[in-house]
Amino acid sequence: MKVLVLGPGGREHAIIRALLADPEVEQVHSAPGNAGIAELVPVHAVDANDPAAATGLARELAVDLVVVGPEAPLVAGVADALREAGFAVFGPSREAARLEGSKAFAKEVMAAAGVPTAMARVATDAHEAADALDAFGAPYVVKDDGLAAGKGVVVTADRAAALAHAEACFAAGGSVVVEEYLDGPEVSLFVLTDGTRVVPLSPAQDFKRIFDGDEGPNTGGMGAYTPLPWLPAGFVDEVLERVARPTVDELRRRGTPFVGVLYCGLALTSRGLRVIEFNARFGDPETQAVLARLTTPLGRLLLDAATGRLDEAERLRWRPEAAVTVVVAAQGYPDAPRTGDPLEGLAEAEALEGVHVVHAGTAVAPEGAEHAGATVSAGGRVLAVVGLGADLDAARERAYRGVGLVRLAGSQHRTDIALRAARGEVAVPTVPASPQEQA
């Protein structure tokens, strides 16, 4: 099997590492890739968001499967163009990807499918936003209706800050979704689907805020871990029955089947399971942790999903260890990340037992540039260090030992990824019994 992976980030690096471990996968190519990906497979300087360019590359390489990593190519219709050209594609159509591209569309689909989610209002001007904020009260939740790379959400007790975020979205020509606040811990569950059948991966939890203790602005994600020892029994089955299957069924009913991975962003609230958001692709940095534990060959899984042959009865196989991912971000991230700084210590980190480094915003400095030939930072989230261990404590220890060996001027990372879970401090709210259960 020859596979082309589209995208430049850590998610794509993690996918490629997993594909290379599949004995059925003979070749992997990447476009555009990054410095770490280029050490593993051929990379191609092609714009992954351009349907014609992506299709042309797939033809040139004569690939058997195209995996679309990020959300932007999906919303741009890259998967549609590839399918029309006859390629097997893991990634939803432009219309199905609206689940991520428009929060309002996702709410509409959930309402039609009976999927539990937060109450919400769509606002297109400051007056509507103010009314919605007052209706739901604090804490205020305001989401940019379009793509925002995981950073378009503001959760705050400050009404003025919430309204300012909404007004910034309006000024950029967008709209917002104002929601009720959902209490309880959050969970990310990736569900593979061929448009009809669904197969869940291992639940994970990520950390969006830039600083320890969930302080500071939202980012694209500063770390993640899996499995989640605090999840109640039957959680994954409940998500499949109440969230994933109804959503996949509703999109198929509309004539826009969802093929790829449905990212279910969930909250376990005092009123039960609720969907926070859907994404139309693997989450980053959760993918780095989840795929580190998967032993079922990934290439065959993704090809079966792309070609309508997913086996819902298959039980995926997982390493028994826990995985913890810690993101190393550039100075100034998320507002104004500094780029072009050399990275050192990567080989030393990789040499540690149970540790590997996943590149995200990295590049090789070109000839004539400062640090020519060296691996340098090229984005806000520069890389992630993944630790595998017998439990979360051991995985954390390995991941942070690796982080300690990475040298990048002005870099920042959180020190508390998976800490509360390792200490047994994550609590799931008790859901009151229904009148029927009380009877």
Distance CA 212, CA 221 (A): 12
pLDDT digits (tens, 9 = 90+) for 102-131: 888 999 999 999 999 988 888 899 988 998
CA 247 to chain CA centroid, nearest Å: 18
- All residue ranges of the chain with pLDDT < 70 are 147-151, 432-439
**pTM score, two decimals?**
0.91
Residue-level pLDDT at 437: 47
Residue-level pLDDT at 433: 61
Q: Exposed, middle or buried by CB within 10 Å (0-12, 13-18, 19+), for 216?
A: middle
CA-based nearest residue to 15, from 385, 259, 319, 358: 358
Sign, CA torsion 69/71/76/82: positive
pLDDT digits (tens, 9 = 90+) for 322-372: 999 999 999 999 999 999 999 999 999 999 999 999 999 999 999 888 888
Residue-level pLDDT at 314: 83
Distance CA 237, CA 244 (A): 10
Residue-level pLDDT at 368: 84
* Amino acid residing at 342: P
Residue-level pLDDT at 439: 43
CA 311 to chain CA centroid, nearest Å: 23
